[in-house]
């Protein structure tokens, strides 16, 4: 997700490695690179300047003297400052009020307010067991109200009807009244997208805020937003007492600048990040992890969590047991592994979370997509159980049959088999405890990653 | 690089029919970006021409989303020109900056031609929330004012109520909208093309669901939509337009690259230029993928869609 920035910084850090110590002159280049990288990632200029200043001061201070190597010290300082900039701790929603707790959504057009409203409703309903009411005050965009209605229906969340002819303020008042009477825990109010310079519309949302007196006023920001994120965030922050930020569309590529700037400008925590248009895609924001990721340390924590959630424990233990006992790793196991990989969000999602030094060579390869996993699965499915257990059986005519069955060329079957052989070797190494050796050999061994 | 300034700037003839109204809107929309540039440039025009001056100029450009690479290229041009013409006062450099920007953007000036084929099929693609559906509504109106008959294809079958949104635009403009209860976008658009042919319609505007270029399966799906359109009409799609939100930063470049690689774009539409967003990223795009900008969106009203004019755009940005 933030590959470019990660890569750039990885490069910078490398040039610092091997230096005897940090000085004004030798961090100058590194700082310039950091600055350019941040700008390229759409972090707003004033934010970048503050950040660079902070890193410079920190890097030349005491922390450096007491550390192991200058490179490590520099990474540490950049990481710390980055984490700090993004708001140190992941903040949750504050719903501590007399119900209904009102959540007001605000933001530019197309930033993802309605989708986020739906996602938030789902999260509150399923994870916090709240009784949620959704209402749309977007009387301007055609079918905006209908969009929220459809979302509410598919979520099984209650929806307060409104119509395009109504005044937003009276919709809000009526919804609030309804929520009170029917003992809802939370009322989520979706609003029309508006430009910060549109005074009339900004007055309207201020009026809405007064009517609703929301406990949370969330500013929805598109993660792809450019330098202007600073201005819109400031304008919304001045017009409304924001309590937090939702950063959407973070599943896009190479971005994150907005994440850095918005927090810095509004001073409000990023409470959630939106990933994907599926209604499950609202995740808590972890500044610490985001900082690690930007620095090329990889979001390994998320990966581990994800793995815990999706990887079948029993399956994994069975395989581990088998390997320990020295039994062969066969194509059946290979297939099971691929299935697990798919469950964990596919290769792309996993690669995203690995440190960029590891994945740089791999990621540029277009064959690293989930389709290649599906093909491999298809090929293995076209084999008989005996063939899967004992791949040595596979000679030319069997390979032709398998290729025909899977709808691929014979070469692809061959490629799979050689990958599998390497994988087998790796497993043998693993069983002999050669983990380090295995990691070194990793690059060529993942399926589809040649 | 060097002969660059000697080329004649741009078609001056393009402007006359443009009403003062929309220019005012564009200007007011771009006001903030201009203010931004001028804040950066404020102390600039005055003072001495030195490296620090150029660095501040570079920062100003970057703040307008021009991007570090395109900014660096512009600065390099300006530096060389300053040396060559012995310019030592920053204010003398301003027309050169304008000229350089206009030169960069002029090739993108290329209005939509919609009368070669009948029906003329235009496919709209873009990321989520870029403004595809709204743009289609505006463009339908624009084309009808020019006397074309228009048909809309509700190809966004994914997002909740996207079909209803397009239908509402259709109703407003009194334009037929082809929808399907269930089905994928390719099927809906195929249907729409058949319907347009049967009814003798001039232009088909086909909406599609928003997609991020990182979602490979959705990029594959849009390729399929294109293939199916070609099946319905061997010469189609006649236009594939990427709708870009002007608020987008450097990711706009990645979007253009990804959609162009996947589909072969014929044009861009830049929306939401009435906000505090700047057109800067357009310069970055012009440097890397000079795809014509067919229209810019400068407001929420139906008539707020305008052909792109490089010199006016630059004027509004750094007057």
Q: Is there a single domain that holds both residue B200 and residue B51?
A: no
pLDDT of residue B64: 82
Distance from the A198 Cα atom to the nearest Cα atom in chain B, whole angstroms: 8
pLDDT of residue B45: 57
Q: Is there a single domain that holds both residue B156 and residue B205?
A: yes
Show which of B108, B138, B159 is a domain's final residue: B108
Interatomic CA distance for residues A345 and A106, integer angstroms: 31
Q: Is there a single domain that holds both residue B137 and residue B193?
A: yes
Q: Is there a single domain that holds both residue B243 and residue B302?
A: yes
Q: Is there a single domain that holds both residue B124 and residue B153?
A: yes
Sheet containing strand B305-307, edge to edge, reads B177-178, B150-153, B203-206, B120-125, B239-245, B267-271, B293-297, B305-307
Q: Is there a single domain that holds both residue B209 and residue B125?
A: yes
CB contact under 8 A, A143 and B65: no
Q: Is there a single domain that holds both residue B128 and residue B236?
A: yes
One-letter-per-residue 3-state SS of A173-235: HHHHHHHHHCCCCEEEEECCCCCCCCHHHHHHHHHHHHHHCCCEEEEEEECCECCCHHHHHHH
pLDDT at A301 over 50: no
Angle between helices A70-85 and A24-40 (to 10 degrees): 40
Q: How many CB atoms lie within 10 A of CB A422?
A: 15
- pTM of this prediction? 0.73
Q: Could you state, in order of their start, the residue ranges of all structural domains in chain A?
A: 5-86, 101-287, 298-449
Among B130, B164, B250, the residue with its CB nearest the CB of A40 is B250
pLDDT at A66 over 60: no
Q: Does A158 touch chain B (CB under 8 A)?
A: no
User: Is B16 domain-assigned?
Assistant: no
Q: B218, B197, B293: which is closest to B263 by C-alpha?
A: B218
List the end-to-end C-alpha distance of chain A, in Å, as a whole number. Answer: 22
Indicate the Cα dihedral angle A188, A189, A192, A195, nearest 10°. -90
Select the more confidently predicted residue: A132 or B30. A132
Show which of B108, B138, B162 is a domain's final residue: B108
The token duo for A354 is: 């690995």
Rg of the Cα trace of chain A? 26
Q: At B190, which CATH number?
A: 3.40.50.300
Q: Does B135 touch chain A (CB under 8 A)?
A: no
Cβ burial, residue A143 (10 Å; 0-12/13-18/19+): buried
Q: Is there a single domain that holds both residue B187 and residue B152?
A: yes
For the segment B125-146, the average pLDDT, to the nearest whole number, is: 90
pLDDT of residue A331: 82
Q: Give how many domains chain B has, as a whole number.
A: 2
The token duo for B141 is: 């109106």
Cβ burial, residue B57 (10 Å; 0-12/13-18/19+): buried
Contact B256, B286 (CB under 8 A): no
What is the pairing mode between strands B293-297 and B305-307?
antiparallel
Q: Is there a single domain that holds both residue B91 and residue B193?
A: no
Select the more confidently predicted residue: A109 or A38. A109
The token duo for B170 is: 């259709």
pLDDT of residue A391: 83
Distance, C-alpha A229 to centroid of its chain: 19
The token duo for A97 is: 């009020």
pLDDT at A5 over 60: no
Which CATH class name applies to A101-287? Answer: alpha beta
Q: What is the largest CA-CA distance in chain B?
A: 68
Q: B308, B313, B247, B248: which is closest to B277 by C-alpha?
A: B247
Going by the DSSP 8-state scheme, the letter that residue A364 receives in this structure is T
CB contact under 8 A, A147 and B160: yes
pLDDT of residue B161: 84
CB contact under 8 A, B251 and A277: no
pLDDT at B236 over 60: yes
Interatomic CA distance for residues B90 and A81, integer angstroms: 36
Residues 6+ apart with CB under 8 A from A300: A292, A353, A354, A355
Show which of B66, B88, B108 is a domain's final residue: B108
CB contact under 8 A, B272 and A149: no
Q: How many CB atoms lie within 10 A of CB A314?
A: 7
Residue-wise pLDDT tens digits, B195-208? 999 999 999 999 99
pLDDT at B10 over 70: no
Which chain B residues are Cβ-neighbours of A162 within 8 angstroms? none
Q: A223, A356, A227, A248: which is closest to A300 by C-alpha?
A: A356
Which chain B residues are Cβ-neighbours of A141 within 8 angstroms? 134, 165
Interatomic CA distance for residues B2 and A313, integer angstroms: 65
pLDDT of residue B7: 33
Cβ burial, residue B3 (10 Å; 0-12/13-18/19+): exposed
Sheet containing strand A270-274, edge to edge, reads A158-160, A132-136, A186-190, A101-107, A216-222, A244-248, A270-274, A282-284
Half-sphere exposure of A367 (CA within 13 A, CB side): 12
For the segment B130-148, the average pLDDT, to the nearest whole number, is: 90
Residue-wise pLDDT tens digits, A399-437? 999 999 988 899 989 988 888 887 777 666 655 544 444
Interatomic CA distance for residues B146 and A436, integer angstroms: 70
CB contact under 8 A, A42 and B167: no
The sign of the dihedral angle between the CA atoms of A353, A356, A362, A364 is: positive
Residue-wise pLDDT tens digits, B237-286? 999 999 999 888 888 998 999 999 999 999 999 998 887 667 788 888 99
Confidence band of B229 (pLDDT split at 50, 70, 90):
very high
CB contact under 8 A, A224 and B251: yes
User: Is B8 domain-assigned?
Assistant: no
Contact A389, A330 (CB under 8 A): yes
Q: At B100, which CATH number?
A: 1.20.120.140
Q: Is there a single domain that holds both residue B161 and residue B185?
A: yes
Going by the DSSP 8-state scheme, the letter that residue B16 receives in this structure is T
pLDDT at B137 over 70: yes
Interatomic CA distance for residues A105 and A224, integer angstroms: 19
The token duo for A117 is: 């409203």
pLDDT at A174 over 60: yes
Q: Regarding the domain delimited by A298-449, which CATH topology (the fold level of the hierarchy) does it fall under?
A: 434 Repressor (Amino-terminal Domain) (1.10.260)
Q: Does A39 touch chain B (CB under 8 A)?
A: yes
pLDDT of residue A231: 86
Q: Does A238 touch chain B (CB under 8 A)?
A: no
Helix (H, G, I), strand (E, B) or coil at A138: coil
For the segment B106-115, the average pLDDT, to the nearest whole number, is: 82
User: Is B255 domain-assigned?
Assistant: yes
Residue-wise pLDDT tens digits, A80-114? 787 777 776 657 788 888 889 999 999 999 888 99
Q: Does A227 touch chain B (CB under 8 A)?
A: yes
Q: Does A279 touch chain B (CB under 8 A)?
A: no
Contact A265, A44 (CB under 8 A): yes
List the end-to-end C-alpha distance of chain B, in Å, as a whole number. Answer: 24
- Average pLDDT in chain A: 76
Residue-wise pLDDT tens digits, A326-383? 556 778 877 877 776 666 555 555 555 554 444 544 444 444 556 777 888 888 889 9
pLDDT at A165 over 80: yes
What's the CATH code, domain A5-86?
Answer: 1.20.120.140
pLDDT at B293 over 80: yes
CB contact under 8 A, B164 and A143: yes
Distance from the B37 Cα atom to the nearest Cα atom in chain A, whole angstroms: 12
User: Is B74 domain-assigned?
Assistant: yes
Q: Is there a single domain that holds both residue B159 and residue B40?
A: no
pLDDT at A62 over 70: no
Q: Is there a single domain that holds both residue B174 and residue B59?
A: no
Which site among B66, B250, B256 would you substitute to test the A interface, given the most A Cβ atoms closer than 10 Å to its Cβ?
B250
Interatomic CA distance for residues A287 and A310, integer angstroms: 24
User: Is B114 domain-assigned?
Assistant: no
pLDDT of residue B243: 96
Select the more confidently predicted residue: A387 or B160. A387
Going by the DSSP 8-state scheme, the letter that residue B248 receives in this structure is B
Residues 6+ apart with CB under 8 A from B19: none
- Provide the residue range defining the domain that includes B146: 120-318
For the segment A174-198, the average pLDDT, to the nearest whole number, is: 93
pLDDT of residue A12: 61
**Cα B252–Cα A218–Cα A208 angle in degrees, nearest 5:** 115
Which chain B residues are Cβ-neighbours of A227 within 8 angstroms? 62-65, 249, 278, 280
pLDDT of residue A441: 46
Residue-wise pLDDT tens digits, B41-67? 444 555 667 788 888 888 888 888 888
Which chain B residues are Cβ-neighbours of A136 within 8 angstroms? none
Interatomic CA distance for residues A284 and B188, integer angstroms: 37
């Amino acid at each position: 997700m933030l590959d470019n920035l990660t890569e750039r910084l990885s490069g910078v850090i490398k040039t610092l490695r091997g230096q005897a110590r940090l000085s004004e002159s030798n961090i100058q280049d590194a700082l310039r690179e950091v600055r350019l990288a941040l700008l390229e990632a759409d972090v707003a200029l004033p934010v970048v300047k503050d950040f660079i200043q902070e890193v410079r001061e920190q890097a030349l201070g005491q922390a450096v003297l007491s550390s192991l190597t200058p490179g490590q010290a520099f990474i540490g300082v950049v990481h710390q400052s980055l984490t700090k900039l993004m708001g140190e701790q992941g903040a949750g929603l504050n719903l501590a009020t007399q119900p209904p707790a009102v959540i007001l959504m605000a933001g530019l057009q197309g930033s993802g307010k309605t989708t986020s409203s739906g996602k938030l409703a789902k999260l509150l309903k399923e994870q916090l067991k709240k009784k949620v009411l959704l209402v749309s005050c977007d009387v301007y965009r055609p079918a905006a109200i209908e969009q929220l209605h459809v979302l509410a229906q598919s979520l099984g969340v209650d929806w307060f009807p409104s119509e395009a002819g109504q005044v937003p303020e009276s919709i809000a008042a009526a919804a609030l009244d309804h929520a009170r009477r029917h003992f809802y825990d939370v009322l989520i109010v979706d609003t029309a997208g508006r430009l910060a310079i549109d005074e009339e519309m900004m007055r309207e949302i201020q009026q809405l805020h007064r009517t609703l007196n929301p406990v949370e006023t969330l500013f929805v920001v598109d993660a792809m937003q450019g330098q202007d994120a600073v201005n819109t965030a400031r304008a919304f922050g001045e017009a409304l007492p924001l309590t937090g930020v939702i950063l959407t569309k973070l599943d896009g590529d190479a971005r994150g600048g907005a994440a850095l700037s918005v927090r810095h400008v509004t001073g409000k925590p990023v409470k959630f990040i939106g990933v994907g248009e599926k209604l499950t895609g609202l995740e808590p924001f972890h500044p610490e992890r985001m900082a690690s990721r930007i620095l090329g340390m990889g979001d390994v924590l998320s990966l581990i969590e994800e793995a815990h959630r999706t990887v079948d424990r029993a399956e994994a233990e069975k395989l581990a047991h088998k390997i320990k006992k020295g039994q062969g790793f066969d194509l059946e196991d290979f297939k099971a592994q691929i299935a697990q990989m798919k469950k964990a969000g596919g290769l792309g999602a996993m690669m995203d979370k690995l440190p960029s030094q590891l994945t740089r060579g791999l990621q540029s390869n277009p064959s690293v997509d989930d389709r290649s996993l599906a093909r491999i699965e298809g090929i293995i499915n076209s084999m008989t159980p005996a063939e899967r257990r004992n791949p040595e059986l596979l000679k030319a005519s069997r390979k032709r049959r398998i290729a025909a069955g899977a709808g691929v060329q014979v070469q692809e079957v061959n490629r799979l088999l050689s990958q599998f052989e390497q994988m087998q070797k790796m497993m043998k190494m693993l069983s002999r405890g050669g983990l380090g050796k295995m990691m070194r050999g990793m690059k060529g061994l993942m399926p589809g990653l040649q | 690089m060097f002969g660059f300034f000697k080329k004649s700037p741009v078609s001056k003839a393009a402007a006359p029919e443009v009403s003062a109204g929309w220019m005012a809107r564009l200007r007011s929309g771009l006001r903030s970006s201009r203010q931004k540039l001028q804040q950066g440039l404020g102390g600039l025009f005055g003072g001495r021409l030195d490296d620090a001056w150029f660095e501040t100029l570079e920062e100003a450009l970057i703040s307008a989303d021009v991007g570090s690479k395109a900014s660096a290229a512009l600065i390099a041009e300006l530096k060389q020109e300053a040396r060559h013409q012995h310019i030592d006062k920053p204010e003398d450099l301003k027309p050169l900056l304008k000229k350089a920007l206009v030169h960069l953007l002029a090739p993108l000036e290329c209005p939509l031609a919609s009368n070669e084929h009948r029906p003329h099929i235009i496919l709209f693609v873009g990321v989520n929330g870029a403004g595809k559906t709204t743009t289609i509504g505006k463009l339908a109106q624009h084309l009808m004012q020019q006397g074309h008959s228009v048909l809309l294809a509700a190809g966004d079958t994914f997002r909740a109520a996207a079909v209803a949104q397009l239908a509402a635009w259709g109703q407003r403009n009194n334009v037929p909208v082809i929808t399907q209860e269930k089905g994928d976008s390719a099927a809906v658009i195929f249907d729409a093309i058949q319907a347009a042919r049967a009814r003798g319609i001039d232009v088909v505007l086909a909406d599609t669901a928003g997609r991020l270029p990182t979602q490979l399966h959705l990029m594959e799906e849009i390729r399929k939509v294109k293939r199916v359109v070609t099946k319905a009409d061997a010469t189609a799609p006649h236009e594939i337009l990427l709708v870009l939100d002007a608020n987008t930063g450097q990711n706009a470049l990645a979007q253009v690259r990804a959609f162009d690689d996947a589909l072969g774009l014929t044009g861009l539409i830049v929306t939401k230029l009435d906000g505090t967003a700047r057109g800067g990223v357009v310069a970055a795009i012009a440097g890397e993928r000079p795809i014509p900008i067919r229209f810019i969106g400068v407001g929420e009203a139906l008539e707020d869609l305008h052909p792109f004019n490089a010199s006016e755009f630059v004027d509004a940005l750094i007057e």
